């Protein structure tokens, strides 16, 4: 074998070894990237599944508040339209006032969202539009509805405070009534002539109607977000 032939064989062997090493290193990097992408995708799925579970837990409270708001709007509207009557039925009046004093605060479930946000895992959601929809829901709309709900409750309690001079409660121990079910100690005209009471009723009814109308949209948005997450998980 000549020197040139020996050199050629060594050169070919060196090229083959170089290509093999290059492919091995490249495949190793590709495998690492694949494992990392697979892990990120799994983490994104866990984040979405957790947020979906939180949204699902919100729905019973949303439905309850919508029912109480609808009843309050109905009761408040009846009371407002019958305000000038000389002697409206006592049980109807206490029912109407009771609906305005029924309900509760809106405390949405945010555990998975806050956990993913603090850990930077929201960025793992590949769909930018879905990620934006989730962020808007938790950062914009939920706080808005919490604020409106709290304002509505403040007006409800203000109406009860203004009615207090006109209401007669039982003083027998163990027989203190839970509103509704009270009796008016003042004649009804004395109640209706109280401008502060009338204004308090209007404010309470207005904010309850506002909250109910906005909350209907919030429920629809919650259901739409659940559908979007289901589509991403599929």
- CB-based contact 113:134 (threshold 8 Å): yes
pTM for this one?
Answer: 0.77
In this predicted structure, what is the pLDDT of residue 32?
Answer: 54
Token pair, residue 30, equals 């590709």
| Closest by Cα among 199, 181, 157 to 96 | 181
What is the spatial distance between Cα 36 and Cα 28, in angstroms, rounded to a whole number?
12
DSSP 8-class letter at 176: P
139: DSSP letter: I
Residue 177 has what pLDDT?
47
CA distance 159 to 202: 9
φ and ψ of 153, to 5 deg: -65, -35
At residue 101, the pLDDT reads 85
pLDDT at 10: 63
- Which pLDDT score is estimated for 84? 86
DSSP conformation class of 172 = S
d(CA 157, CA 199): 13
Which pair of structure tokens corresponds to residue 33? 């990237």
CA 22/CA 30 separation, integer angstroms:
12
Closest by Cα among 197, 95, 211 to 152: 211
Q: Answer whether 229's CB lies under 8 Å from 41's CB.
A: no
- Please state, in angstroms and rounded to a whole number, the distance separating the CA atoms of residues 126 and 179: 51
Q: Mind listing the pLDDT tens digit of every residue in the chain (234 residues)?
A: 555 555 566 656 665 565 556 566 555 555 555 455 655 688 889 999 999 999 999 999 999 999 999 999 999 999 999 988 888 888 888 888 889 888 889 999 999 999 999 989 999 898 999 999 999 999 999 999 999 999 999 999 999 888 888 776 655 555 544 444 445 666 677 788 889 999 999 999 999 999 999 999 999 999 999 999 999 998
**Can you give the pLDDT at residue 234?**
85
Residue span of the structural domain in which 172 resides = 3-233
Q: 46 to each of 41, 57, 125, how far by Cα in Å?
A: 9, 17, 10
Number of domains in the chain: 1
Helix (H) or strand (E) segment spanning residue 183: strand 183-184
């Amino acid at each position: 074998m000549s020197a040139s032939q020996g050199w050629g064989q060594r050169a070919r062997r060196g090229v083959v070894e170089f290509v093999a090493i290059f492919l091995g290193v490249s495949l190793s990097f590709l495998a690492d990237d694949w494992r990392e992408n697979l892990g990120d995708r799994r983490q994104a799925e866990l984040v979405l599944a957790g947020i979906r579970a939180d949204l699902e837990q919100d729905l019973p409270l949303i439905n309850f508040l919508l029912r109480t708001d609808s009843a309050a709007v109905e009761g408040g509207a009846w009371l407002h339209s019958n305000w000038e009557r000389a002697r409206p039925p006592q049980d109807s009046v206490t029912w109407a006032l009771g609906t305005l004093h029924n309900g509760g605060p809106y405390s949405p479930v945010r555990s998975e969202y806050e956990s993913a946000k603090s850990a930077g895992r929201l960025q793992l959601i590949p769909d930018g539009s879905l990620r934006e929809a989730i962020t808007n829901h938790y950062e914009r709309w939920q706080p808005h509805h919490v604020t409106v709900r709290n304002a509505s409750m403040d007006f409800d309690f203000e109406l009860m405070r203004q009615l207090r001079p006109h209401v007669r409660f039982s003083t027998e121990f163990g027989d203190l009534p839970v509103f509704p079910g009270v009796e008016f100690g003042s004649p009804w005209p004395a109640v209706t002539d109280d401008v502060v009471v009338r204004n308090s009723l209007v404010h309470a009814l207005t904010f309850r109607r506002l909250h109910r109308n906005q909350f209907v949209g919030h429920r629809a948005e919650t259901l739409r977000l659940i559908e979007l997450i289901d589509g991403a998980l599929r």
